[in-house]
Amino acid sequence: MPNNLKSQFEKQGFLVVRNVLDFNFDLKPVLNDMEFIMNRLIDRFVSKNNKSKVFKYDFWKKYTHLSKLKIHEFDQYFNIRPPRDNITKDCEYFASQSVWNLVKNEKILDVIEKIIGPEILANPVQNSRIKQPEKFLGKNTVHDGLSGRTPWHQDAGVLSRQGQKQTDLITCWIPFTNTTIKNGCMISVPGLHKKGLFNHEAGFKGQAQIKDSELLDKLKTTALEANIGDIVLLGKHTVHCSLPNNSNNFRISMDLRYHKAGQPSGRDLLPSFYVRSKNKKNISVTSYKEWLAIWYNKIQKCVPKKYTFKYTIPTFKGTSRDLINLL
Ligand SMILES: O=C(O)CCC(=O)C(=O)O
């Protein structure tokens, strides 16, 4: 781990930390669990005649085959957070033991501690993204951040108003495939985070995107290319987006988040809990089953409301927080 990790991160607003995770030990179990889900979906949705053939496909071919079957909320089977809207008590999301192991992975927490200190909560703003080559995507998914490109945004833009102001959120972006410009890595503008939160607007399907973000395309950006084992850190004001996957292969990633203890999570209906503390009594969620239970209980409380989170897109009055006035 670099000695000046925190100062580099604070200067640029992002940092690629090399060789933190081990593919076989930390990452492959997640892919195995995704394949287990795919096998269950094959069993349920593929016609009897085709089943044995499709079971023999590799990971990528299985996913491609399933994605064409128009399974309702297909992405949700592989997404580590429950759906935002229209949730039901048995709504789908991907919550395997391997994901839990990653959330509390000591190697990740050692890096996070260098930035926000030793009192760390897991934050519920988290996603997993399986991105097929863009040429295979329908028009409706090219601009959907989970399966296609992610628009220019700052992560504070998807927190509650209170979270936008009070939460020291840190994003830990984890590649499960080597991620390059060609297959759609993230890009960022170094130093721009120092200007604070910009005005956003609702983009495709209501996703928060920076207002007039085409201005950013003219600036000098850094490609956050990362290999398997690396992690990419982003701050809550880091301006970033992801490129299209113009390769012939899949690009898989997960974005986990953490924040400083004592602060709101910015997604108050969903669970946040200590993953590291000097006082061991603070660590109340210690097993996979407890983790499942706290998510389950929170989701049940969301069912009558019909949503798991809402966020207020930051739209400051006037134009003083517009990109054009801050560049
Ligand atoms: O993986 C991506 O495409 C984008 C991730 C992202 O924007 C984030 O983690 O905040």
HEC profile for 293-318?
HHHHHHHHHHHHHCECCCCCCCCCCC
pLDDT of residue 195: 96
CA distance 236 to 301: 27
Residue 66: inside a domain: no
Atom of ligand 1 nearest to the CA of 153: 7
Report the separation in Å between the CA atom of 255 and the middle of ligand 1, taken as the mean of its atom positions: 7
Residue 51: inside a domain: no
pLDDT of residue 140: 79
Pocket test for ligand 1, best of 171, 258, 267 (most atoms within 8 A of CB): 171
- Domain containing 260 equals 5-22+100-326
Tens digit of each residue's pLDDT (9 = 90 or more) over 187-218: 999 999 999 999 999 998 889 999 999 999 89
Residue 56: inside a domain: no
Residue 74: inside a domain: no
Atom of ligand 1 nearest to the CA of 253: 1
Does residue 155's CB lie within 6 angstroms of at least one atom of ligand 1?
Answer: yes
pLDDT of residue 111: 98
Residue at 72: amino acid letter: H
Residue 161: inside a domain: yes
Residue 36: inside a domain: no
pLDDT of residue 146: 87
- DSSP count for the chain of H helices, then E strands: 9, 11
Pocket test for ligand 1, best of 137, 186, 237, 311 (most atoms within 8 A of CB): 186
Tens digit of each residue's pLDDT (9 = 90 or more) over 37-91: 999 999 999 999 999 999 999 999 999 999 999 999 999 999 999 999 999 999 9
Report the separation in Å between the CA atom of 172 and the middle of ligand 1, taken as the mean of its atom positions: 10
Strand residues in the chain grouped as ranges (E): 14-17, 120-131, 169-175, 186-188, 200-202, 208-210, 222-224, 231-235, 240-242, 251-260, 273-276
DSSP state of 106: H
Atom of ligand 1 nearest to the CA of 171: 9
Q: What is the pTM of this model?
A: 0.96
Q: Which helix (H) or strand (E) holds 63?
A: helix 59-67
**Measured between alpha carbons, how far apart are the two ends of the chain, in Å?**
32
Sign of CA dihedral 181, 183, 184, 186: negative
Residue 50: inside a domain: no
Report the separation in Å between the CA atom of 85 and the middle of ligand 1, taken as the mean of its atom positions: 20
Nearest to 99 by CA among 128, 123, 77: 128
Counting the structural domains of the chain, the total is 1
Atom of ligand 1 nearest to the CA of 241: 7
156: domain CATH number? 2.60.120.620
| Phi, psi (deg, nearest 5) at residue 11 | -70, -45
Residue 34: inside a domain: no
pLDDT by 10-residue block (mean), the chain, 327 residues: 90 98 98 98 97 97 94 94 92 97 98 97 97 89 89 96 95 98 98 96 91 93 98 98 97 98 96 97 97 97 93 86 91
